[in-house]
Amino acid sequence: MRRIFFFGLVIILLSIAFGLTEIGYCEQNRVVREITVLTRPKASSPDEFETITLVVEAMKKIGINAKAKVMPWEQMADVVWYDRDAWDMTGWQMTARPERLDPDEFTFNLFHSSTAENGYNFIGYNNPQYDQVAEEQRVTIDQERRRELIYQAQQIIADDCTYIFSVNPLVNIVYNNQVFAADSIQEMAGLGIKNFWTYLNATPKGKQKDLILNSNDTVQAINPLYISGTVDSWVTELVWDRLMRMAQDGLPRPWAAEKVEWQDNTTVKVVLRDGMQWHDGKPVTVEDVKFSFEVPKTGEAPMYKPFVDIIAQIDIVDDHTLVFNLKKPWAAFETASLAKINLIPKHIWEPIIADLKNKPENAESHQEAIPIGSGPFKFANWKFSEEVVLTANPLYFQPPQIENWIARFIPNMEATLGMIQNGEINFLATYLGDKQLLQQRVEADPKLTMVSSTDLGFRFLAPNHRRPPFDDVAFRRAIAALTDRELIAALVWKGFAVPGDGVISPALEYWDNPNVNYPSGGVEEARMILKKAGYEWDSKGRLLYPEK
């Protein structure tokens, strides 16, 4: 009898031990893996580095083993853009560009599933409901109805936490008022004074004829069919021209086109400005214009393909006139296509495109030895990681007032303060350091003027939806909830930013949905979201995936 009892006791103890081992094994398999968040170095982007440091520490408070990984911008951009399955989350920013004053580019190209493979939707977001709204706003000509759809799109983005938003910065641009006439510095909605119109109209007051500005990032490519980052876009819009340009009021206006006329909702007549020339002296023709819009449609320039897919056919009427026939109405066609696509010379790019058809790479990877455009500035020199020099095009129909536009790459923010004060640069285009210190320096130096305005662009953390746990909306909502945007605006940005909750800047009052319900509430709210979704914590406080 005792033997039977002892044997039974052993069986029970072994069962308990085996059960505990099995539970421990199962829990171990459910532990959320280590999360790596990419960021640029503190010296070149202190706001991004400090924001990610705060978010990583907050993630640890809810049991996530998270770490920040510092990468130079060049390396980080390559990993995020070209190796889309290889990273978890990254610091990122959407830059203010003139064509982004219409909400279509952010609404459609950032999040529509068709742009996930190699376009702007690098996070891999896929929501059929969102796709439908994004598509409908494009073909809705009635502006009030379109605004309702843009509002809907913003709320879906918030509900799905496609991005982890942080702030809309204040654009703080400083210029030397002894070098440039104050009334020649042009302010633009959502862009501040760092824009095409300032570069075109800035009028020197004395012997210094060059506009010398800074960037914390380097130029990756000078290519009319590819833009890898912010400073690339500055160069591109000056070297290559566009049929329309976004004016200071945020509305598109004919530019390289003398006239743009809508014949009906799907037919647009464009009359090309007379007498334009490429920088190599050859005339700009309607054939060049047609070629410029057709190349992206072939897939050779995937970044620009979404902006031309709506075009069914382009007809050349005469030496100055083209007709764009659209597949369906597109409310943002002028802004997102005519003011977006860079005009390129067919005689240069046609043989390049033909050669690339037999190669694995596309036009995005091609770099001209001497880039040729037709814009107000001509390419002069590029010293990688040092500077880009553009020289004024005297044959342009509205020649710049300055002689040279020079962008110098200065990753150290402290160094830029000394350079704007001692005259090494005369236009502080990028400053990501202590904004209060910047303001103090400007107030103490009468030759400096600072102009501040809310940025059209925004800062955020981009979660990779292709990789668990970021494929779970509850996990993303938890990360959004514990990201203290008020604290980031106050502590990291020293009040020179407003908390962000979406892709439409408060600077665009008409389009910005003021009632977006975006997760907040800190650590406790994040825990509640996770618990409700079935997540648990083990005895060590580590976050566990929901049981399958």
The full 3-state SS of 412-439, as one line of letters, equals: CHHHHHHHHHHCCCCEECCCCCCHHHHH
Mean pLDDT of 209-226: 93
What per-residue confidence (pLDDT) applies to 4? 53
Distance CA 244, CA 99 (A): 10
pLDDT at 99 over 80: no
Distances, alpha carbon 537 to alpha carbons 30, 33, 87, 118, in Å:
10, 13, 25, 37
What per-residue confidence (pLDDT) applies to 404? 98
- Candidate CATH numbers 3.10.105, 2.60.120, 1.10.10, 3.40.630; the one for domain 34-169+457-544: 3.10.105
Pairing relationship of beta strands 164-176 and 458-463 according to DSSP bridges: antiparallel
Structure tokens at 139: 């073909």
pLDDT at 7 over 60: no
User: What does residue 451 show for φ and ψ, rounded to 5 degrees?
Assistant: -120, 125
Q: Which secondary-structure segment (H or E) carries 462? A: strand 458-463
Mean pLDDT of 362-388: 94
Which residue matches tokens 């509430």?
A: 521
pLDDT at 540 over 70: yes
Distance CA 488, CA 168 (A): 11
What per-residue confidence (pLDDT) applies to 22? 45
What per-residue confidence (pLDDT) applies to 435? 83
pLDDT at 13 over 60: no
What per-residue confidence (pLDDT) applies to 15? 52
**pLDDT top residue among 273 and 453:** 273
pLDDT at 300 over 90: no
The answer as to CATH 3.90.76.10 being correct for domain 225-367 is: yes
pLDDT at 197 over 90: yes
Confidence band of 96 (pLDDT split at 50, 70, 90): confident
What is the share, in percent, of the chain residues with pLDDT greater than 70? 95
Domain residue limits, the chain? 1-30, 34-169+457-544, 225-367
| CB atoms inside a 10 Å sphere around CB 7 | 10
**pLDDT top residue among 524 and 357:** 524
Structure tokens at 427: 């236009």
